[in-house]
Structure 1
């Protein structure tokens, strides 16, 4: 599976092509869904452009994306930097249950290194929203192994935060080794300079992965800014984008990115 992560925690003014509003997120969801992408991980904003876990912004974003791409799995974040208090995060997640079905996220990510992650997982499971477990380090992986995979978990997100393209894959290998066999799929991805090397490693090892402006603003050559999430997804799938793209490919990139097994929504409780 190739997931698209269109905006992440990037500032609203970081780059004009990064979608922030429900309308722009829906536009990008429609575009990447047409390419076969079946999962969309977003960071909703409120009217002031700030990340929010409140039901209003969550429902507005999910509803807009659902209308644009009805078959897309829609995921949101529960990150500590959005709401530092884990008990408040839990309360907000439980309020999502009052959203109409079309406005309710299918999954939500929970970072294992954040205090209170287990109660946030319990809240998500209690309202029928699937869990993506964020594992950023080998220490996180060991912690998850000791605690056990919570009920309702859809996948583990193994995120390589090492941005050096020369060492990011080595860090990915360390995290995967620490995780060991999992009872749920592992989605492996990198960020910034490590995004494309880790994506290629994931593909070669038949692991789910992702790409989008949350992870990188740049194409595989590390210099040019992508024109949109659709362009990043096309490159990840090994599809031609523009003459500029073809002319500036680095040796070893390009067709190696084809062949993702694009799946539909995971079978889990909503």
Structure 2
């Protein structure tokens, strides 16, 4: 993560402009980062899902030679309306490889489906315990049912667990990437996914 929820008020070391973010991304990849999560911001420091903000950031990073997958958040606080978020995703002219979706928020399922429809993989953030209640997990499980998951690729984070479709395998990433679970039984989770669970 290059900047996260930090803005210009948090100090000059926080990258804000597309060029600063690209420089930070290049340094992170050189240090071993295999993926870059960036929060695109307007010139005044406001997070945004606008294609006029997201596109230039992604283009700057790729133009600087960043070749690892790029991810952006699809649930910025400054744009709380789920319908507006979906329209933003549909209007993107430059696409990231991944986008994070917080299933604690209303409309997360619809936003996730809009991302998959654009070919953007989903990193599902599902809070467990504390004051989260059962709704985020229920919302995620309904969305990630096998019959829906076949339309795209999702990944929740950060702790791995065994998927219901696995017949006792120790690492879901093996069978869920298209192999077979023990005793020849096909895993029931979406192809290419590594089912996990974790807190935001």
Provide the TM-score with structure 2 as the length reference: 0.72
Query: What displacement does 1:143 show?
Result: 3.8
TM-superposed deviation, 1:180: 5.0
- Kindly indicate whether the alpha-carbon contact (under 8 Å) linking 1:25 and 1:65 is maintained by their aligned counterparts in 2: yes
| Matched residue count | 164
Give the match's secondary structure for 2:9.
coil
Q: What residue is the counterpart of 1:115 in the other structure?
A: 106
Alpha carbons of 1:112 and 1:128: their partners in 2 closer, same or farther (altered >3 Å)? same
Alpha-carbon distance in structure 2 between the residues aligned to 1:30 and 1:190: 28
1:185 matched to which residue of 2? 194
Aligned residue number for residue 8 of structure 2: 12
Instruction: Check 1:121–1:148 CA distance in 2 against 1; reply closer, same or farther (3 A cut).
Output: same
Per-residue deviation, 1:104: 2.1
Q: 2:50 maps to which residue?
A: 54
SS class of match (1:13): helix
Aligned pairs (5 A) from 1:146-185: 146-148=142-144, 150=149, 151-158=151-158, 176=159, 180-181=162-163, 183=189, 184-185=193-194
Change in Cα spacing, 1:186 to 1:26, as seen in structure 2 (3 Å) is: farther
What is the aligned-residue RMSD (CA, Å)? 2.5
Q: Contact 1:44–1:76 (CA<8 Å) still a contact in 2?
A: yes
**Structure 2 counterparts to residues 163-242 of structure 1, below 5 A:** 176=159, 180-181=162-163, 183=189, 184-185=193-194
2:72 match: secondary structure: strand
Partner of 2:89: 93
Q: Which has the higher contact order (CA 8 A, sep 6+)?
A: 1
Select between 133-142 and 5-14 the one with higher mean Cα deviation: 133-142
Native 8 Å contact 2:125 2:199 kept in 1:
no
User: Structure 1 residues 32 and 47 mapped into 2: Cα distance closer, same or farther (>3 Å)?
Assistant: same
In structure 1, the gaps of 5 or more residues are 159-175, 192-270
Distance, in Å, in 2 between the alignment partners of 1:16 and 1:188 is 35
CA distance in 2, matches of 1:61, 1:51: 12
Relative to structure 1, the CA distance from residue 73 to residue 180 in structure 2 (aligned partners, 3 Å threshold; closer, same or farther) is same
1:124 aligned to 2:119? no
| Structure-2 change in CA distance of 1:146 and 1:123 (3 Å) | closer
> Which 5+ residue runs of structure 2 have no aligned equivalent?
164-171, 173-188
Instruction: For residue 186 of structure 1, report the CA deviation from its aligned partner.
Output: 6.0
| Counterpart Cα distance in 2 of 1:9 and 1:117 | 19
